[in-house]
Structure 1
Amino acid sequence: MELNALRSAMTLISLLVFLGIVVWAWKGRRRDAFDAAAQLPFADDETPEPAQRSQGANQ
């Protein structure tokens, strides 16, 4: 197989995979899961208290 034909085939396969991912991501039944995942950075988690250092540990 010629190298350019192989490159063309790989480009076509990559395009089809990309389009498949786009269709999968934009399907309506996945919306709830993606909306929940989009809100994770804003979840109200308690921040851990900073660890107290002992006076002699770092000297």
Structure 2
Amino acid sequence: MDYGVIQGIITIVVMLTFLGIFAWAYSSRRKDQFDEAANLVFSDDESNKSAGEQK
């Protein structure tokens, strides 16, 4: 194998990895988990405010 073949194989592996991550991130099965993770910041603020009010 010469350098060009190895470079082509690496390119294909990187492209397939990118497409796999893209499909995983935009999968409808993961939407609920990503929405919950996106709202964690807001729920943390609410719990800190209520904890501060209780003191």
Q: What TM-score range do you get, normalising by the shorter chain?
A: 0.7 to 0.9
Q: What's 2:13 paired with?
A: 13
The count of aligned residue pairs is 49
Bigger radius of gyration, 1 or 2?
A: 1
RMSD: 1.9
Q: Which runs of 4+ in 1 moved over 4 A?
A: none
For normalisation by structure 1, the TM-score amounts to: 0.69
How much identity, in percent, do the aligned residues show? 37
Gap runs ≥5 in structure 1: 50-59
Q: Which structure has more helix as a fraction of its residues? A: 2
C-alpha offsets along residues 1-56 of structure 1, whole Å, 9 cap, x if unaligned?
1112101110111001110111111111110000000111222231688xxxxxxx
For normalisation by structure 2, the TM-score amounts to: 0.73
Gap runs ≥5 in structure 2: none
